[in-house]
Amino acid sequence: MTIFVTGGAGFIGSNFILDWLGQSGEPVVNIDNLTYAGNLQSLSSIENHPGYHFVQTDIANQNTISQLLIQHRPRAIINFAAESHVDRSIHGPASFIQTNVLGTFSLLECVRDYWNTLAGTDKSNFRFLHISTDEVYGSLLPEEPAFTESSCYRPNSPYSASKAASDHLVRAWHHTYGLPVLTTNCGNNYGPRQFPEKLIPLVILNALAGMPLPIYGDGLQIRDWLYVGDHCAAIATVLDKGIPGQTYNIGGGNEKTNLDVVQAICDVLDEIRPRAGGQSYHRQIAFVADRPGHDRRYAINGTKIAQELGWHPQETFTTGLQKTIQWYLNNSDWVQGVQNGSYRDWMALHYGHH
Ligand code: NAD
């Protein structure tokens, strides 16, 4: 048996592939077109693993995707491929519509054709697992209950609107064509191998470089933080036990303001990497103009996945953050490759890609 992972060179996809090959040994085909967010250096440790196969293509490339499906006959597809950064979606929404909406549509069509060629248990056991976000539910007031799977869709940014659209397509391909789909909606992930445009790695690396630690607006926006290893375990659980047509919210149970998060990073760094002069990292915190349309609060109610599938996060925010900071301290080659852009040269050297 084989599974396909799209977007496997990104943050969550690369963590998922590493965990998957470490735990199950079932072969993985990683399909990624290597945007700025795709970094094969994150997967260098499994480059020669017999169960790992990389193909550089766009999820919207129907010819190649259809050929790969016929060639490898996967039992499941996990769709991580997306444009994922809210700020980028504000400045240039087109690529978000292209990949998240049209790309998902195109992929669903290829998968539907392939699935229709299957028979018996190959057909009934097949799964298309779509990875999505809690941002599709919009913003919560402080007193409102956390998002459940039946919360209304109220996306506010071009990113969340494009993800919401993709969730609707996935749902419709189940109800209309019977495709056995699963959708997961999770909170903000953090952990190793995250591109440093996102809050936690940005703050860790800016802190170490003596640069300002930017906080949007008053810093009191609340997010529900999920350690990426916990997310990957939840995805494997949903793939294994989830009911086709259902969606599952995945939360870490860690509602934190952005200011809390930045201060927690400063606390850990003050302890494990104190500055020579004894000056605290907290002094680098700098408030900057808020993001337009910035959602105030996201929070996940994770009761369904806990009760129905028995999944619970293993990390607290404190343990997950310590692991994350330690990873960035221990992996300066990866960090430098991303910061000076040489991760793209590395890919050209190893894979002949540009
Ligand atoms: P990422 O930006 O780090 O990685 C995305 C990957 O997809 C990259 O490797 C990129 O090259 C690839 N990709 C982009 N467009 C593609 C296309 N057209 N064809 C093939 N590959 C393409 O993103 P991430 O943080 O790893 O997020 C993965 C998924 O999880 C996304 O669908 C995202 O919406 C969702 N998600 C992320 C978070 C989070 O906090 N990071 C939270 C909730 C949901």
Q: Give tens-digit pLDDT for 82-136.
A: 999 998 999 999 999 999 999 999 999 999 999 999 999 999 999 999 999 999 9
240 noted as active-site residue: no
Alpha-carbon gap, residue 248 to 235, rounded angstroms: 10
pLDDT at 354: 44
184 within ligand 1 shell (Cβ under 6 A): no
The answer, yes or no, to whether residue 353 has pLDDT greater than 60, is no
pLDDT of residue 347: 67
Mutate to test the pocket of ligand 1, among 4, 5, 12, 170 (most ligand atoms within 8 A of CB): 12
The answer to whether the CB of 192 is under 6 A from ligand 1 is: no
- Measured from the CB, is residue 99 less than 6 Å from ligand 1? yes
Rounded to the nearest angstrom, the distance between the alpha carbon of 120 and the centre of ligand 1 is 33
Catalytic residue status for 134: yes
Our answer to whether residue 230 is catalytic in this structure is no
Q: What is the pLDDT of residues 137-162, one digit of tens each?
A: 999 999 999 999 999 999 999 999 99
Please give the ipTM for the structure prediction.
Answer: 0.99
pLDDT digits (tens, 9 = 90+) for 182-194: 999 999 999 999 9
Which residue's alpha carbon is at the smallest distance from atom 41 of ligand 1? 189
Instruction: Tell me the pLDDT of the chain averaged across its residues.
Output: 95
Q: Rounded to an integer, what distance in angstroms lies between the CA atom of residue 66 and that of residue 60?
A: 11
CB count within 10 Å of CB 150 equals: 8
Cβ-contact 218, 287 below 8 angstroms? yes
What pLDDT does residue 351 have? 61
Whether residue 162 contacts residue 101, with contact meaning beta carbons closer than 8 Å, is answered with yes
| Residue 116: other Cβ atoms inside 10 A | 12
- Give the burial string for 290-321 (b: 16+ CB within 10 Å, else e): eeeeebebbbbbbebbeeebebebebebeebb
Q: Which amino acid is at 309?
A: L
Q: Which residue in 58, 135, 255, 315 is the catalytic one?
A: 135
Q: How far apart are CA 306 and CA 249, in angstroms?
A: 10
Task: Give 201 Cα–ligand 1 centroid separation in angstroms.
Answer: 16
| Ligand 1 atom showing the smallest separation from residue 9 Cα | 9
pLDDT in the model for residue 58: 98
| Ligand 1 atom at shortest distance from the alpha carbon of 38 | 9
For residue 226, the cross-strand partners are 189
Kindly indicate the confidence band of residue 340, based on its pLDDT and cuts at 50, 70 and 90.
Answer: confident
pLDDT, mean of residues 201-209: 96
CB of 17 within 6 A of ligand 1: the answer is no
Query: Rounded to the nearest whole angstrom, what is the distance from the C-alpha of residue 132 to the centroid of ligand 1?
Result: 9
**pLDDT over 90 percentage in the chain:** 92
Buried b (16+ CB within 10 A) or exposed e, 249-264: bbbbbbbbbbbbbbbb
262-297 pLDDT, tens per residue? 999 999 999 999 998 889 999 999 999 988 888 899
Which pair of structure tokens corresponds to residue 181?
């789909």
DSSP one-letter string for 223-278: EEEEEHHHHHHHHHHHHHHPPTT-EEEE--S-EEEHHHHHHHHHHHHHHHS--TT-
3-state secondary structure of 336: helix
Q: Is the CB of 80 under 6 A from ligand 1?
A: yes
Q: Is the pTM of this model over 0.80?
A: yes
Confidence of residue 48 (pLDDT cuts 50, 70, 90): very high
Residue 69 and residue 110 in contact, taking contact as beta carbons nearer than 8 Å: yes
How confident is the model over 216-252, as pLDDT tens digits?
Answer: 999 999 999 999 999 999 999 999 999 999 999 999 9
206 Cα: distance to centroid of ligand 1 (angstroms): 23
| Beta carbons of 288 and 218 less than 8 angstroms apart | no
- 76 CA distance to ligand 1 centroid (A)? 18
How many angstroms does the Cα of residue 130 sit away from the middle of ligand 1? 11
- Show me where the domains of the chain are located: 3-351
287: part of which helix (H) or strand (E)? Answer: strand 285-288
* Residue 350 clears pLDDT 70, i.e. is over it: no
Decide whether any atom of ligand 1 lies within 6 Å of the 186 Cβ: yes
Q: How far apart are CA 311 and CA 292, in angstroms?
A: 35
Q: What is the pLDDT of residue 197?
A: 87
For the chain, percent helix, then strand, then coil, each to nearest 5? Answer: 50, 15, 35
Residue 19 clears pLDDT 50, i.e. is over it:
yes
Nearest CA owner, ligand 1 atom 35: 132
Share of the chain above pLDDT 70, in %: 97
**Among the atoms of ligand 1, which is closest to the Cα of residue 60?**
18
280's tokens: 């605290």
User: Which CATH code fits 3-351?
Assistant: 3.40.50.720
pLDDT at 352 over 80: no
Residue nearest to atom 5 of ligand 1 (CA): 10
Mean pLDDT of 29-40: 96
